[in-house]
């Protein structure tokens, strides 16, 4: 679209038009002057004096009209005015003087603006009257001048009015045109804005399309990566677990199942190393499980399967499992929770995982003293705390312990081993249960880690068991498959080899085995964990086995637990003999131990 | 009492054989689904199945085959591939239980005892 002239000057156009007319007038004068001169020479006697002068003036004006039009125009008008004045002076007032008086007015109207016409008209009238008064006296004016003056003034007024109307019309037309122009401009501007807006829109649309494509691609890449990661983790897990089965399977059977090898026991020189093989295998397995758990938690794919948990049973269960971790350390594992804890709401498997992580950490970093597992009801939740008397953590290192593959210091890493994934997982699991892992610690005095579990609501219990059930009758197997329908045996024996033999045999037969080498701890464990059967050695370092038996039978809650006496001494010298459920003579074979315990339980069941 | 064990890894088969033999029972180790299907005729009381045979999930096919023929013998998946989704698949294929590799000899014993209740008494 072509650009539009923004404004329009009519005065300039009128001036151009006047210049054109002036040139035509001058040309006409040049042609007319010799003709008029000839006529004057023939008919007007002595009336030719002014004409050569006017002819010359016309030629001069013609030369300068391009450069000073306004001045030339005035000179021309003045020259035109000189003709009637000269005629009045020489010939006096007559008809042709009355017509000639109109000449300067017509000239002015052609080549000057309307104001100039007005002034020219007044000037020529005044000048003509002045000439007549001067030449013929005042009284003559009244006689000869009214006609030409009135004619002249009428012409001036007519021209003035016509030019005004013409200007008005031109102005009006110009206004219209300007309005149109403005409208066209506005329209054009709007159109341009619209076009540029459409261009921008198209550009933005293209960009959006591109971004959408990129987003799709990125999402596909991310999904592929996520799938690849899952497949990789699954494959890695499978590939690592397969050889671990040989490592763990053979080492554990060599250590605990001599009957699988024609009852040939592992020579003691090899035992320590096979144990290392087994422990390392379990360590690797734990690492694989932790890495899988973490990647699941991070991908948001770890789903909780919450259910009401009988917390007391679970706490006793994890304590039982953790006893194996204590090994030879002079360390007691203490339960500290009231009977009849209310049902809590959580994923049993994951809560157990948190507890085992915390307990194994506590045992790992505590050389002497105790590790206590406590639980207290606070408002509408239960706070579970694991407190140890271990090395502790200084305040500035407290945050570091939650970082992955980090322990408080590299020194502890060397001394205690471990990956440092456990606390991270525990904290994340606690967070998923609506809690967080809280740590309090004093260097060389110990640490305590705690988290909370919400109490199970009536609705949650009802959802799972139906509204008719009384929650006191609810039995929840929260210990996973391993402890379902499995009986617990407490082995009290200070001699390590014998204790391990009993442990191996009973565990292989499906018992969950708790071990201890002290009589006092045996009494605590029996009261706290309520095992199904106790295998009791009579010669213990801290107290007499018979005294342990007497106290067990003296307590109301432990009275019913069958006790199998395990001794090198012959039977029959003590009064408590009547209370024992069975007797195994040392040295005992694996079969003898298993049969003795099974028999005692069978009797107890009756 | 007879236990059928479908397992293509001889080391794992040997380990389980050691345990079962020590318990005075008999293990019938087989390496392929075809051998296992033939051995079902010997009427084992428990069938242990490694799910991954070579590179395929042949064990799952075997479970479907067995259950498809109405055989209700206790069936345990013995596998290192035991994510939640995998376990779900095994259960829907007809497995009663999953023993995750690596397993301790205790876990093996408990799993067998759970599905053959008279095992402990006889052993």
Give the CATH number for residue B49: 3.40.50.2300
Q: In Å, what is the CA distance from B44 to each residue of A100, B19, B31?
A: 150, 17, 16
Residue A71 pLDDT greater than 80, yes or no:
yes
Write out the DSSP string of A334-345.
EEE--SSPPPEE
Q: How many structural domains is chain B composed of?
A: 1
Residue A165's pLDDT is 80
Three-state DSSP class for A183? helix
Q: How many angstroms from the chain centroid is the CA of residue A499?
A: 59
Three-state DSSP class for A371? strand
What is the C-alpha separation between A461 and A469, in angstroms, rounded? 9
Residue A205's pLDDT is 93
Rounded to the nearest 5 degrees, what angle is found at the Cα of A295, between the Cα atoms of A322 and A344? Answer: 50
Band of residue A468 on the pLDDT scale cut at 50, 70, 90: very low
Tokens of A467: 């509204």
Interchain CB distance below 8 Å, B100 and A241: yes
Residue A82's pLDDT is 84
Residues A77-104, mean pLDDT to the nearest whole number: 80
Beta partners for residue A584, in sequence order: A566
B39 lies in which domain range? 2-115
Q: Does residue B14 belong to any structural domain of this protein?
A: yes
Alpha helices (H) along A44-100:
51-64, 69-91, 95-100
Residues on chain A touching B104 (C-beta within 8 angstroms): 248-249, 252
Is A448 in contact with A379 (CB distance < 8 Å)?
no
Task: Determine the CATH number of domain A306-478.
Answer: 3.30.565.10
Q: What is the DSSP letter of A456?
A: P
Give the percent of chain A with pLDDT over 90.
13
Residue A3's pLDDT is 42
Residues in A whose CB is inside 8 Å of some CB of B read: 234, 237-242, 244-250, 252-253, 256-257, 259-261, 281, 285, 292, 481-482, 485-486, 507-510, 598
Nearest CA in chain A to B55: A235
Mean pLDDT across chain A: 80
Q: Does residue B122 belong to any structural domain of this protein?
A: no
Band of residue A474 on the pLDDT scale cut at 50, 70, 90: very low
Instruction: Give A534's contacts (C-beta < 8 A, 6+ positions apart).
Output: A489, A490, A492, A522, A526, A552, A561, A562, A563, A564
Residue A274 pLDDT greater than 50, yes or no:
yes
Task: Tell which wins on pLDDT, A309 or B114.
Answer: A309
Give the percent of chain B with pLDDT over 90.
55
Residue A216's pLDDT is 93
Residue B67's pLDDT is 93
- Best to test chain B binding among A250, A253, A482 (most B CBs inside 10 Å): A253
Using omega within 30 degrees of 0 as the cis cutoff, is the peptide bond preceding A399 cis? no
- Best to test chain B binding among A229, A237, A245 (most B CBs inside 10 Å): A245
Residues A565-586, mean pLDDT to the nearest whole number: 70
Write out the DSSP string of chain B.
-EEEEE-S-HHHHHHHHHHHHHTT-EEEEESSHHHHHHHGGG--SEEEEES-BTTB-HHHHHHHHHHHTT----EEEEES---HHHHHHHHHHT-SEEEESS--HHHHHHHHHHHSTTHHHH-
Give the percent of chain A with pLDDT over 70.
87
* Beta carbons within 10 angstroms of residue A246's beta carbon: 17
* Beta carbons within 10 angstroms of residue A490's beta carbon: 26
Residues on chain A touching B102 (C-beta within 8 angstroms): 241, 244-249, 281, 285
Residue B38's pLDDT is 93
Q: pLDDT digits over A154-167, tens only?
A: 888 888 888 778 77
Instruction: Give A354's contacts (C-beta < 8 A, 6+ positions apart).
Output: A426, A429, A430, A451
Sign of the CA dihedral running A71, A74, A79, A85: negative
Task: Please tell me the least confidently modeled range out of B44-53, B72-81, B114-123.
Answer: B114-123
Is A106 in contact with A163 (CB distance < 8 Å)?
no
Residue A48 pLDDT greater than 70, yes or no:
no
Q: Does residue B120 belong to any structural domain of this protein?
A: no
Task: Please tell me the least confidently modeled range out of A369-373, A382-386, A461-465, B53-57.
Answer: A461-465
Residue A217's pLDDT is 92
Task: Please tell me the least confidently modeled range out of A58-72, A292-306, A410-424, A542-556.
Answer: A410-424
Residue A533 pLDDT greater than 70, yes or no:
yes
Residues on chain B touching A240 (C-beta within 8 angstroms): 80
Residues A18-35, mean pLDDT to the nearest whole number: 81
Residue A479 pLDDT greater than 60, yes or no:
no
The ipTM value here is 0.77
What is the C-alpha separation between A323 and A54, in angstroms, rounded? 141
What is the C-alpha separation between A365 and A382, in angstroms, rounded? 26
What is the C-alpha separation between B55 and A540, in angstroms, rounded? 55
Mean pLDDT across chain B: 87
What is the C-alpha separation between A403 and A546, in angstroms, rounded? 50
Residue A88's pLDDT is 81
Q: Does residue B110 belong to any structural domain of this protein?
A: yes
Beta partners for residue A311, in sequence order: none
Residues A341-346, mean pLDDT to the nearest whole number: 90
Band of residue A470 on the pLDDT scale cut at 50, 70, 90: very low
Residue A461 pLDDT greater than 70, yes or no:
yes
Task: Tell which wins on pLDDT, A471 or A375.
Answer: A375
Interchain CB distance below 8 Å, B120 and A598: yes
Residue A528's pLDDT is 65
Q: Phi/psi zone of residue B72: left (φ > 0), alpha (ψ -120 to 50 degrees), beta? A: alpha
Residue A37 pLDDT greater than 80, yes or no:
no
What is the C-alpha separation between A179 and A167, in angstroms, rounded? 17
Strand order from edge to edge, sheet including B26-30? B26-30, B2-6, B46-50, B75-79, B97-100
Band of residue B40 on the pLDDT scale cut at 50, 70, 90: very high
Residue A4 pLDDT greater than 50, yes or no:
no
Three-state DSSP class for A65? coil
What is the C-alpha separation between A329 and A358, in angstroms, rounded? 18
Instruction: Give A262's contacts (C-beta < 8 A, 6+ positions apart).
Output: none
- Best to test chain B binding among A234, A260, A280, A594 (most B CBs inside 10 Å): A260
Q: pLDDT digits over A500-528, tens only?
A: 788 878 877 777 777 788 888 788 777 76
Band of residue A477 on the pLDDT scale cut at 50, 70, 90: very low
Residue A331's pLDDT is 87
Residue A332's pLDDT is 87
Q: How many angstroms from the chain centroid is the CA of residue A89?
A: 105
Residue burial A462-477, b: 16+ Cβ < 10 Å; e: rest: eeebeeeeeeeeeebe
Nearest CA in chain B to A260: B22
Q: CATH fold of A486-606, please? A: Rossmann fold (3.40.50)
Band of residue A45 on the pLDDT scale cut at 50, 70, 90: low
Residue A481 pLDDT greater than 60, yes or no:
no
Residues A291-305, mean pLDDT to the nearest whole number: 82
- Best to test chain B binding among A231, A242, A350 (most B CBs inside 10 Å): A242
Query: Domain map of chain A by residue range?
Result: 10-144, 306-478, 486-606
Q: CB-based contact (8 Å) between B65 and chain A?
A: no
Task: Tell which wins on pLDDT, A379 or A475.
Answer: A379
Q: pLDDT digits over A402-420, tens only?
A: 776 665 555 665 555 566 7
Q: pLDDT digits over A538-552, tens only?
A: 888 788 888 888 888
Residue B121's pLDDT is 42
Band of residue A6 on the pLDDT scale cut at 50, 70, 90: very low
Nearest CA in chain B to A293: B83
Interchain CB distance below 8 Å, B81 and A238: yes
Residue A1's pLDDT is 42
Task: Please tell me the least confidently modeled range out of A64-68, A349-353, A568-572, B102-106.
Answer: A568-572
What is the C-alpha separation between A423 and A540, in angstroms, rounded? 37
Q: pLDDT digits over A207-245, tens only?
A: 999 999 999 999 999 888 878 877 888 788 888 888 898
């Amino acid at each position: 679209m072509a650009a539009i002239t923004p404004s329009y000057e009519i005065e300039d156009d009128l001036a151009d038009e006047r210049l054109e007319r002036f040139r035509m007038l001058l040309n006409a004068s040049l042609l007319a002057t010799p003709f008029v001169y000839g006529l004057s020479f023939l008919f007007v006697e002595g009336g030719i004096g002014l004409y050569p002068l006017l002819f010359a003036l016309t030629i001069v004006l013609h030369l300068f009209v391009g450069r000073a039009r306004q001045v030339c125009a005035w000179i021309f008008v003045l020259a035109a005015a000189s003709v009637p004045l000269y005629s009045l002076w020489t010939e006096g007032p007559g008809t042709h003087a009355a017509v000639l008086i109109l000449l300067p007015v017509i000239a002015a109207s052609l080549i000057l603006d309307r104001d100039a016409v007005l002034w020219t008209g007044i000037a020529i009238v005044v000048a003509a009257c002045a000439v007549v008064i001067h030449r013929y006296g005042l009284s003559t004016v009244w006689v000869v001048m009214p006609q030409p003056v009135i004619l002249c003034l009428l012409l001036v007024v007519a021209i003035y009015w016509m030019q005004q109307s013409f200007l008005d019309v031109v102005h009006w037309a110009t206004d219209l045109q300007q309005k149109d122009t403005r409208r066209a401009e506005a329209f054009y501007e709007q159109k341009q804005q619209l076009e540029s807006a459409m261009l921008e829109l198209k550009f933005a649309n293209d960009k959006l399309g591109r971004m959408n494509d990129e987003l799709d691609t990125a999402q596909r890449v991310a999904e592929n990566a996520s799938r690849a990661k899952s497949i990789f983790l699954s494959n890695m897990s499978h590939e690592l677990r397969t050889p671990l089965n040989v490592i763990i399977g053979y080492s554990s059977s060599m250590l605990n199942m001599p009957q699988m090898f024609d009852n040939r026991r592992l020579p003691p020189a090899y035992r320590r190393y096979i144990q290392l093989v087994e422990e390392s295998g379990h360590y690797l397995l734990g690492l694989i499980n932790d890495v899988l758990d973490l990647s699941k938690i991070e991908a948001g794919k770890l789903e909780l399967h919450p259910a009401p948990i009988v917390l007391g049973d679970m706490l006793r269960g994890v304590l039982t499992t953790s006893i194996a971790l204590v090994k030879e350390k002079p360390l007691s594992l203490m339960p500290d929770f009231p009977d009849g804890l209310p049902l809590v709401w959580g994923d049993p498997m994951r809560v157990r995982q948190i507890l085992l992580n915390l307990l194994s950490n506590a045992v790992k970093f505590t050389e002497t003293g105790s590790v206590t597992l406590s639980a207290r009801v606070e408002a509408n939740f239960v706070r579970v705390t694991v407190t140890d008397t271990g090395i502790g953590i200084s305040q500035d290192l407290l945050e570091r312990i939650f970082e992955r593959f980090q322990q408080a210091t590299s020194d502890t890493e060397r001394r205690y081993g471990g990956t440092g994934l456990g606390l991270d997982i525990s904290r994340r699991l606690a967070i998923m249960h609506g809690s967080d892992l809280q740590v309090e610690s004093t260097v060389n005095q110990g640490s305590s880690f705690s988290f909370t579990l919400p109490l199970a609501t009536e609705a949650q219990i009802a959802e799972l068991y139906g509204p008719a059930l009384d929650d006191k009758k609810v039995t929840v197997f929260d210990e996973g498959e391993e402890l379902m329908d499995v009986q617990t045996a407490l082995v009290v024996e200070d001699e390590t080899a014998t204790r391990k033999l009993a442990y191996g045999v009973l565990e292989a037969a499906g018992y969950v085995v708790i071990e201890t080498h002290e009589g006092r701890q045996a009494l605590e464990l029996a009261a706290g964990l309520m095992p199904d059967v106790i295998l009791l050695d009579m010669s213990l370092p801290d107290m007499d086995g018979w005294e342990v038996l007497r106290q067990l039978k003296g307590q109301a809650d432990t009275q019913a637990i069958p006790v199998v006496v395990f001794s090198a001494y012959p039977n029959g010298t003590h009064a408590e003999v009547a209370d024992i459920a069975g007797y195994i003579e040392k040295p005992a074979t694996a079969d003898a131990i298993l049969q003795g315990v099974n028999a005692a339980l069978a009797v107890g069941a009756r | 009492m007879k236990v059928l064990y479908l397992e293509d890894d001889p080391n794992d088969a040997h380990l389980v054989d050691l345990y079962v033999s020590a318990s005075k029972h008999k293990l019938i180790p087989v390496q392929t689904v075809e051998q296992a299907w033939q051995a079902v005729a010997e009427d084992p009381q428990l069938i242990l199945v490694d799910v991954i045979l070579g590179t395929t999930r042949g064990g799952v096919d075997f479970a479907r085959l067995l259950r498809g023929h109405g055989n209700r013998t206790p069936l345990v998946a013995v596998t290192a591939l035991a994510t939640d989704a995998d376990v779900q698949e095994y259960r829907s294929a007809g497995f009663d239980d999953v023993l995750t590799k690596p397993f301790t000899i205790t876990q093996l014993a408990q799993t067998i005892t759970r599905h053959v209740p008279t095992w402990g008494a006889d052993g």
